[in-house]
Structures are given as structure tokens and as C-alpha cells.
Structure 1
């Protein structure tokens, strides 16, 4: 049989070593970033409102270009705020523990959670408390947090054909994320203009549109499991 001779192998080409990774992240002159800050130290200077408004407007423009309806824009803004709320719960509880030198307790009752959102969360985000906290008169699982002038809507100009759009849906997502992280299953958190007829009837109050044209109501709808657990704690003498 004829012999099959393999041709000699060529010399292997050496693989050059990878270039060292060079970060393109810009650092300030102090060479410190936000990750070098102390978590227990709260902000000493307010964030520039025009800078925030510019970034938030870019976020809205992006989601507007990807959406086909007002409800879809609000859903996208809600999803953008949701992971922030999840992270904020642990951060705010850690700061409470550091400030009081006592273990921070997670809210275990719906009312405790609502007060946490109304005061602690609002102060961390807006340096003030929310303007009102109310319970629905018709549904046991619905509560409302009122903000007379949400900062996220300060520089937002909404065209007439999209008048139902409330960009505070981003904050509604933050609230929903914090509630879920605390162990309270939510049916949803939505943002509504106070002059909307449905919300106005629920609120049971006259809205002064001239004084607070951007007044927003955040409607929190707790899941049935959260309501049942709250009733069980109350029945067991938990408050």
C-alpha cells in the first residue's frame, strides 16, 4: 500500500500577550469616586437641580423613542426606578443604624412601611417629607402618598396630546422597589395627576390646581398576602 506521509508542521505562531486593561472612567483630581464615600455619611450639599433635570430629560427622551403609548412610557420609567428602590432600603436602614447606634428594624407593618416611605425615603431623595399620607376609603389595600410639587416634573413640558403622562412614574418605581425589598408584595405603585377625576374622587378633597398644578398622588396597591399578614400581626397583638 502506498505510504501516506504527513507534511511537516509549520512553526506555531506565538500569541501576543493581552494588553493591560486601561479604564476609560474619568476620575476627579482627588482620584476618588463615589465608591470611596462613606455610606453612613449623608449628602452635605444638594444635587444640582438643572443637572438632574438634564439627565432625567434624557432618560425620558430615550424611553419616549422606544415606546408607542403613554402607558408604555410610564411603565418603562417605573422599571427604571424599581432597582433604585431595592438598593435604597438597605442603604437607608444602614444609615439609621449608624446614626442611632442601634440595630435598624425593617418595617413589619403596612403603616410602618408607609411612614418610612413618607418620611425617610422622601427626605433622602428630596430633603423633605411628602405632603400627605392617606388611605383609600373604598379599598383596604390602597394607600396614597401626595406630593404637591414633585421635583422630577419641575422642567418637564408635556404636549397636549400626552397630557395624561406623569413622569413621576419613575418615583413610583422607586417606591415599589423599596416595598418589595421590605417583603411587602405589591400589586403596583402608580403616579397620577391629582386633577384626574378618578383619583380626585378617591382622595375626597378639592384640588387647588392654581396653587399646585403638578400635584401628584402615588397610589400604592398592596397584594392580598401583605394585607392578610398585616391583619394576622394585628390580631396577634403586634399593634
Structure 2
């Protein structure tokens, strides 16, 4: 009897960092995200400022979650090439964040430095309705910030914007010329 009462209850701090599934309850995430949106709405004047604020929050998350991903998965090697890094985000990292892969990864037909990550149903837009007075507001700017934070931290300087398209949410990634120059040098080797 004493041995069972002597056992300590497990807390979040006692859990292994190796656990990757089921860490965050969807309801908890939705509540936290909703509070973040309300906090941001009270501190901005227009829709563009709100989307920028959400993207800034996402950048901070992206920087930190990338380190968490590598720590949890025991990986010490990061991608240095552009295409493998984008595939890593579309498949592996998206699954780590949202328990599924992003639907599509595409490159712009004319511009070599522009890529698209397309989701049919973006998690952050799933449970939030956009008021009629804020018609073109897209809460997926938060996810765009996460993508930008991951890429910039990994040495792929870029800007990421999000817009709604007929196929779903499109994250438009525009890489800096320095990234494209580095890719050209690596291709020449």
C-alpha cells in the first residue's frame, strides 16, 4: 500500500522529449490560437496589420519548433539544399505539426525563386469564421510565419505570404537572390 502512495504522479516536465504524437489537444490549440487572434485584433488598425502580427507570432514559433523537432527526433543533420528542405517541410515537418502532410509543393512556372505549399484545409482556418467586415482576412498568416521562421533559421532567407485560392490555402514562398545564387553554386559542383 505504501509503495503505491509513494509513487509520484507524472507531470509534463517528467515526460520524455522523444514523445511526438498527441502532445497538444486540438481543442487546447484552438482556444490558444483564438486568444492570440483576439489579443492581436485589439492592437491593430487594419487587416494587413493583423495578418503581419499573426505572421510575426508564427515566425517565433517556427524558430523554436524547428529546434524542438530536431531534438525530439535525434537528428543532427539539416538540409542545405533548397528542394530537399521544401520537401522536408511539406512532408516531415507538416506531419510533425499537423499530423498530416501538406497537399502540394509546386514551383512557379516563370520565377525560379517562388514556390507554393498548398493545403486544401488549413487547420487554423478550420474553426474560425471570418467576419463580413474583414472579408479577405486569412488566419493562415500564422502558418506562413512558421514556414518563414523555419526557412530563415535554416539559412534559406525568404518571405512567405498566404492567400486563399480555389484549391485551398496557398503559402507563397519567395526566396532571396542569395539563396538562389547558393543553389546555382551547389549545382555547379
Q: Please report the TM-score for the alignment, with normalisation by the length of structure 1.
A: 0.71
1:155 counterpart = 2:127: yes
Per-residue CA deviations over 1:119-167 (Å, capped at 9, x if unaligned) read 1111111101000000011211110000100111111111122111110
Which of 68, 85, 97 is matched with 1:91 structurally?
A: 68
In the alignment, what sits opposite 2:144? Answer: 172
Per-residue CA deviations over 1:160-198 (Å, capped at 9, x if unaligned) read 221111101111111111111111111x11111014xxx
Which of 181, 194, 197 is matched with 2:165 structurally?
A: 194
Per-residue CA deviations over 1:69-106 (Å, capped at 9, x if unaligned) read 11100100011111111122222223333xxxxx5321
Q: Using the alignment, how far apart are the partners of 2:107 and 2:174 within structure 1? A: 10
In the alignment, what sits opposite 2:34? Answer: 57
1:144 counterpart = 2:116: yes
Q: Give the number of the structure whose alpha-carbon radius of gyration is greater.
A: 1
> How far has the Cα of 1:31 moved from its partner?
5.9
In the alignment, what sits opposite 1:199? Answer: none
Q: Using the alignment, how far apart are the partners of 1:234 and 1:64 within structure 2? A: 45
- CA distance 1:193–1:78, change in 2 (3 Å): same
Aligned Cα RMSD in Å?
A: 1.7
In the alignment, what sits opposite 1:223? Answer: 176
For structure 2, the 5+ residue unaligned runs are 1-7
Q: Using the alignment, how far apart are the partners of 2:11 and 2:26 within structure 1? A: 23
Structure 1 runs of 4+ aligned residues shifted over 6 Å read: none
> How far has the Cα of 1:39 moved from its partner?
1.8
Per-residue CA deviations over 1:179-236 (Å, capped at 9, x if unaligned) read 11111111x11111014xxxxxxxxxxx4xxxxxxx1000111111011001110111
1:191 is paired with a residue whose SS is: strand
1:234 counterpart = 2:187: yes
> How far has the Cα of 1:46 moved from its partner?
6.1
Q: Using the alignment, how far apart are the partners of 2:135 and 2:156 within structure 1? A: 32
Q: Using the alignment, how far apart are the partners of 1:79 and 1:125 within structure 2? A: 18
2:172 is paired with a residue whose SS is: strand
2:149 is paired with a residue whose SS is: helix
Question: Which of the two has greater helix per residue?
Answer: 2
Which of 15, 23, 33 is matched with 1:37 structurally?
A: 15
1:193 is paired with a residue whose SS is: strand
Which of 76, 80, 85 is matched with 1:113 structurally?
A: 85
Q: Using the alignment, how far apart are the partners of 1:171 and 1:30 within structure 2? A: 35
